[in-house]
Structure 1
Amino acid sequence: MTQMTDKTIAVVKGLIMDGVAKANSGHPGGAMSSSDYATILFSEFLNTNPDDTKWFNRDRFIMAAGHESMLLYSLLHLNGLLSLDDLKEFRQLGSRTPGHPEVNETPGVEATSGPLGQGFAVSVGFAAAEAHLRDKLGSDVMDHYTYAVSCDGDIQEPVALGAASLAGLWGLGKLIIYYDSNKIQLASPCSQVDCTDHRKVFEGMCWQVLEVDGHNQDEIRAAIKEGQLETGKPTLIIGHTTMAKGCATMEGSHKTHGSPLSTEEISATKEKLGLPAENFYVPEDVVANFQSRFDGLRKNAADWQAVVDEKLGDPEFASMWKEVTMPRSERKIDWPEFTPGETMATRKAWGACLNSVMESLPTLVGGSADLDPSNQTQHFRDTYGDFGVTGYGSRNLAFGVREFPMAAIMNGLQLHGGLMPFGATFLTFADYCRNAIRMSALQKLPVLYVFTHDSFWVGEDGPTHQPIEHVSSLRLIPDLIDLRPADAMETAVCLDIAITQEEMPSTIFLTRQGLPVLDPAEYPAVTDGPRKGGYVLKDCDGTPDLILIGSGSEVALCLETAKVLKRKVRVVSMPSTKLFDDQPESYKNEVLPPEVTARAAAEAGRTPLWYKYVGLNGVVLGLDHFGASAPGKILSDKYGFTPENFARMIREKY
């Protein structure tokens, strides 16, 4: 075993060097120092289905140190999932081997792990999903491990430690993360930037911590087995390794972190490793040995399927299995009704919607970043308990004051499959979540971000808590649905859009202040119009003299302003600029006829985006400065968010 393992590891290191050299770009050093652990894990421990990379109960592996992608691709080649030609196209346009692992580009890649820290946090989401579904489906159906390879830079990112704290609290015993501690990062030795005792830190966060020589095969195997035996705590295996282990002259050099090795260094290293000089060398015996477990893995998968087929005879299991496997787009949800004319904050409408549908959506899981009463998730939490604290079957995820870990963990929950995650906080804290939101969009993950307290109407908490630029900023992220409903009716439609979405994440922006509930008898389009992003809420006879466009709380302002103006006015509600922009040009011209150039828009946030819809000479009522600490109504008057002031601005222009 040792001789063949040595040979396999050498071959993997040869592929890493050759792939990076051919691309003239990449990170060979860390990939080589992690090769011993990753090769043993893939060849001896991972439980997968060789014929189905999406088999539901497969062990999940996340390359959290995404710059070590060439290591993962080399192992996927030995698994038969990538060809040598794929490896030769490393980092090239259109290849299946991009610079960092991309979940939608490469078979066998579980998560897009680019920004350091997030792969670690995402793995916590995977493990949480496994634990919850194990409780719901039974350990004979869901019992896989989640493995990840992390690195020094990965651990330095605070998002990793925030997620680690939750993993420890939740007791995710089937999470095993290998920390390749080669003590070198891109620009320097780690000693120049870090003095952390990671054993103490992780043990303090309720992890089992094991330390091994990361190049000792027996210690690696023993640590993985010990991690598997610990069922009440996640396991961190700290592998003390040497950067670019095996290199002829550059072992331990930070110069190997982010640059290809020279031709001379590669040649000398191959000789040292006992490899021939040829590039992309993969002998048949290494492949055969690596795949020697395949028949047994196939039998495991077949036995698992037989268990599922038998359990489908149980109506309770069959019902839950249907929920777990149902495409989101096929869901038909009965949303609550609201009383026209009442005043209700859209955050309360969200809470009412959540409370109404949570029983009929048993795979809906999520929670708040320590803002349950404000985010209207308190009843959900009280009803279903806190995951990992009151039980793995509990559906509320109490994230604490950890917005970035919350968002990254949600990505892991969604990537795992079988669950519909949501997370809530104040809109001003969206900046903490932002890079994970971007990763949601990049990976086509339909997670739901609930952001309440969406404008200066937050009031007395002051400018630190009053979002100004946040909605416009989030709209800059491609393939992210922005939803800012005008009232309770639109809130329900917007939530239906988000919950039934298959490939795009959604951000919903909700008010603290009350808004009038629109009457479908007077505004019939409100019941379905939001699905197209923007729609005619109230029209006039004939061609309008003026079009008013509003979003969220400013739709009511537009309706009142139309009354003050006493002109032929069309009022357009635009809860989602993304969905509106995606409509056919013919529809957009129906809503905003090009011949009607007198236009005005209102939104309690930054103004530049709205000139896209009103024209460069149009009128935009917004906020391009920070707020102040005062009651919301006083700020509304001060900043001119009144029908009288909006009408004055329009009259002065048109």
Structure 2
Amino acid sequence: MNSATPTFAMMSDNDKEQQLVNYLKGLIMDGVRQANSGHTGGAFSSVDFAYVLFQKHLRFDPEDSGWFNRDRFILSAGHESMLIYSLLHLQGYLDMEELKNFRQLGSKTPGHPEYGLTAGVEATTGPLGQGVGMAVGMALAAQIARSHLGEDIVDSYTYALCGDGDLQEPVALGTCQLAGHYGLNRLILFYDFNKIQISGQVDRNDSTDIAQMFRSFQWNVLEIDGNDHGAIDQAILHAQCSKEKPTIIIGHTTMAKGCATMEGSADTHGAPLPHEEIAATKRRLGIPEDASFYIPQEALNFFRRRFPLLREHRRSWEKAIQDRAKADHNFTPLLEQFTRSMVPPIDYPNLDEKMPTRKAFGKLLEAVADQYIAFAGGSADLEPSNNTTGFMQKVQDYSRDFHQGRSIPFGVREFPMGAIINGMQLYGIKSFGATFLVFSDYMRASLRLAALQNIGTMFIFTHDSVSLGEDGPTHQPIEHLPSLRLIPGLHVLRPADALETRYAFDHALHSQNPTVLALTRQDLEPVTSAYYHNGGSFSQGGYILRKENGELELVIIATGSEVKLALDSAAKIEETLGKGVRVVNMPCCELFDMQSADYRNDILPPCTTTVAIEAAATGGWYKYTGRQGLVIGIDQFGESAPADKLLQHFGFTQESVVDKIIKFLK
């Protein structure tokens, strides 16, 4: 900053706005340079939109980043993380020391924004496209909440910022198709169209007419100079007035806008600027060259001049809450469902009978439909197969004309469904999405992000084994159960019968961890009645279902549809060999592994021969059986045939299992 440059206090308000943007660029440059890692160019091209949004339009509580009726801002282009961290510093949510520790171990400023770690970060983003999907989910959840709680309680907007890479990921396009179909008019997406990717010019790989594509998706489309503050302001105001459609603001921007010599360069995308470029850019932007992470207090005060109005808006909202609570005694419990994730008492049906566990799930859904309003979800065009039809008929489909509907018609869009239900969960609605277990492959990235964010999304996967039958190997899951169990923090629940499905469902409903319910197509005989009627707990993950007769010599572990087979086989082995055989039902390995060592050793004595049975790939079970143990599973792809023929073919009959175990013991 030279002597001719006026001080911040001497500038006009318009000049102060621009200088604040310059200071943000300085923070971005310094953070990326100090970490020697990160993305500068995209953050520079996006900063004008983000600044105008945060300064003039975004509603938040300066003292409470988790206020329910806040506007949500999702940085889908998560590699631009120094942009949001710098803005969070202006909001007062993030200390300057955290900006200086960008991308360092233990900081609140990791390489990509992480929900639950940093105040003001609404979603964990970075894998491109998913932030757009979660934003759609948040906007959908807000519309549902608004329809049930009232427009005076929920009047927030959902904003998202994306780049070229986001819109090249099909998950983003699938969710945007749905956003237009649903008519999510309070969703505003800013597309930073700077035409540069890590590898160079976007036109090397893409010539899509984005504007025309989004018009076909039933979106409002606005095209502006994305570095012009006045145009940005007017575009946001225009988007806020939309009554029927979401809005995309296509901002034509310049990569690394404001750099001294590297404007428009792909070299600024995924790397820090050279030291000499930073010095020259600071001179150009009116920032002291010898000062790192520079922003004067008077500039912070200027940004925060809107804080009194924001606080007053929060107080008005609190008053509306109090007035509604006085007028309607049912309002507070309903509000707490949305704002505090309060699950009401559920009157579950009696499920102690023979049926497929997918059918039991359908009955549970219908029970919840009547009592838990902050609960929504749907199926990826498999309502009859996933048994979600009854729920759909009770609560009705969400549509652009009926926002109270809590059945979400996703169509054949498994990955978009996963991203959307994660967004709904982040907003405050307990959410589920259903499809076949084999198609969890399409959703794995969203499953991983749900676990990384530690949010309680429910993933319902039916047709959980080769017993689905004639559809054959393309539809028969083999490796899916063990592969899902590898995701840290994800609870994979495979109940043994209809009654246990109730307890698994209740665990999922209350869980802060994401859960998978793996459910059968075929009937299962009741096997857990005595355990649960005598006060047994699902929360332990694994338990003794059949005690050994006499001295314990063998433990058989099983899950889901194989538990009955394990019980029958254990009885036959005891009868044949006179050995004491215990059967352990393991509906959730993750919960079992969380128990004390004493409990686990009591259930699975370390020195006892152990066998595991599951109609899936075998690898994950050796941690319980030991390397010398026996695992009866399926380590090849399935076949097309009726279920009973397949079970016989793969050796899942009592005769085959008993024969294998006896040979193993001998």
TM-score (norm 2): 0.95
1:531 correspondence with 2:539: yes
In structure 2, the residue corresponding to 1:549 is in which secondary structure?
strand
Which whole-Å CA distance do the structure 2 matches of 1:234 and 1:519 have between them? 49
Which whole-Å CA distance do the structure 1 matches of 2:314 and 2:204 have between them? 48
Amino acid at match of 1:318: T
Post-superposition Cα deviations, 1:98-140, rounded to whole Å, max 9, x if no partner, equal 1111111111111111200000000001101111111001110
1:554 correspondence with 2:562: yes
- 1:597-612 → structure 2 map (5 Å cutoff): 598-612=609-623
1:446 correspondence with 2:456: yes
Deviation at residue 331 of structure 1 after TM alignment: 4.7
Change (3 A) 1:69 1:517: same
Amino acid at match of 1:500: H
Matched with 2:60 is: 48
Amino acid at match of 2:419: A
Question: Pick from 102, 121, 142: which aligns with 1:90?
Answer: 102
Query: Would the aligned equivalents of 1:493 and 1:528 in 2 still touch at CA under 8 Å?
Result: no
Which whole-Å CA distance do the structure 2 matches of 1:494 and 1:526 have between them? 17
In structure 2, the residue corresponding to 1:34 is in which secondary structure?
helix
In structure 2, the residue corresponding to 1:408 is in which secondary structure?
helix
Matched with 2:513 is: 504
1:306 correspondence with 2:319: yes
Amino acid at match of 2:635: D
Matched with 2:529 is: 520
Which whole-Å CA distance do the structure 2 matches of 1:448 and 1:204 have between them? 31
Post-superposition Cα deviations, 1:587-619, rounded to whole Å, max 9, x if no partner, equal 0011111232x2211100000111111111111
Amino acid at match of 1:325: T
Which whole-Å CA distance do the structure 1 matches of 2:277 and 2:534 have between them? 67
Post-superposition Cα deviations, 1:132-178, rounded to whole Å, max 9, x if no partner, equal 11100111010100011100001111000000011001101110010
1:371 correspondence with 2:382: yes
Question: Pick from 336, 347, 351: which aligns with 1:338?
Answer: 351
Which whole-Å CA distance do the structure 1 matches of 2:338 and 2:268 have between them? 44
Matched with 2:7 is: none
Which whole-Å CA distance do the structure 2 matches of 1:338 and 1:443 have between them? 33
Matched with 1:354 is: 365
Matched with 1:287 is: 300
Amino acid at match of 1:371: L
Which whole-Å CA distance do the structure 2 matches of 1:396 and 1:302 have between them? 34
Which whole-Å CA distance do the structure 2 matches of 1:424 and 1:455 have between them? 16
Query: Would the aligned equivalents of 2:341 and 2:430 in 1 still touch at CA under 8 Å?
Result: no
Change (3 A) 1:524 1:144: closer
Number of matched residues? 647
With 167-176 and 316-325 compared, the bigger mean Cα shift is at 316-325
Amino acid at match of 1:535: Y
Which whole-Å CA distance do the structure 1 matches of 2:65 and 2:534 have between them? 43
1:614 correspondence with 2:625: yes
Matched with 2:591 is: 579
Matched with 2:501 is: 491
Unpaired stretches in structure 2, ≥5 consecutive residues: 1-12
Matched with 2:183 is: 171
Which whole-Å CA distance do the structure 2 matches of 1:384 and 1:484 have between them? 27
Query: Would the aligned equivalents of 1:338 and 1:517 in 2 still touch at CA under 8 Å?
Result: no
Amino acid at match of 1:555: V
Change (3 A) 1:258 1:525: farther
1:35 correspondence with 2:57: no
Change (3 A) 1:421 1:526: farther
In structure 2, the residue corresponding to 1:358 is in which secondary structure?
helix
Change (3 A) 1:167 1:526: farther
Query: Would the aligned equivalents of 2:194 and 2:252 in 1 still touch at CA under 8 Å?
Result: yes
Query: Would the aligned equivalents of 1:490 and 1:527 in 2 still touch at CA under 8 Å?
Result: no
Matched with 2:335 is: 321
Deviation at residue 76 of structure 1 after TM alignment: 1.0
- 1:120-519 → structure 2 map (5 Å cutoff): 120-277=132-289, 278-313=291-326, 314-328=328-342, 331-339=344-352, 342-417=353-428, 419-501=429-511, 503-518=512-527
TM-score (norm 1): 0.97
In structure 2, the residue corresponding to 1:545 is in which secondary structure?
strand
Unpaired stretches in structure 1, ≥5 consecutive residues: none
Post-superposition Cα deviations, 1:410-441, rounded to whole Å, max 9, x if no partner, equal 11111112x11011000000011111111111
Query: Would the aligned equivalents of 2:235 and 2:249 in 1 still touch at CA under 8 Å?
Result: yes
Deviation at residue 386 of structure 1 after TM alignment: 1.1
In structure 1, the residue corresponding to 2:370 is in which secondary structure?
coil
Which whole-Å CA distance do the structure 1 matches of 2:534 and 2:616 have between them? 23
In structure 1, the residue corresponding to 2:238 is in which secondary structure?
helix
Deviation at residue 216 of structure 1 after TM alignment: 1.1
Query: Would the aligned equivalents of 1:490 and 1:526 in 2 still touch at CA under 8 Å?
Result: no
In structure 2, the residue corresponding to 1:126 is in which secondary structure?
helix
Deviation at residue 317 of structure 1 after TM alignment: 2.2
In structure 2, the residue corresponding to 1:451 is in which secondary structure?
strand
Q: Please give the root-mean-square deviation of Cα atoms over the aligned residues, in Å.
A: 1.3
Post-superposition Cα deviations, 1:201-241, rounded to whole Å, max 9, x if no partner, equal 10100000100001111111110000001121000000000
Percent identical? 49
In structure 1, the residue corresponding to 2:208 is in which secondary structure?
coil
Query: Would the aligned equivalents of 1:520 and 1:527 in 2 still touch at CA under 8 Å?
Result: no
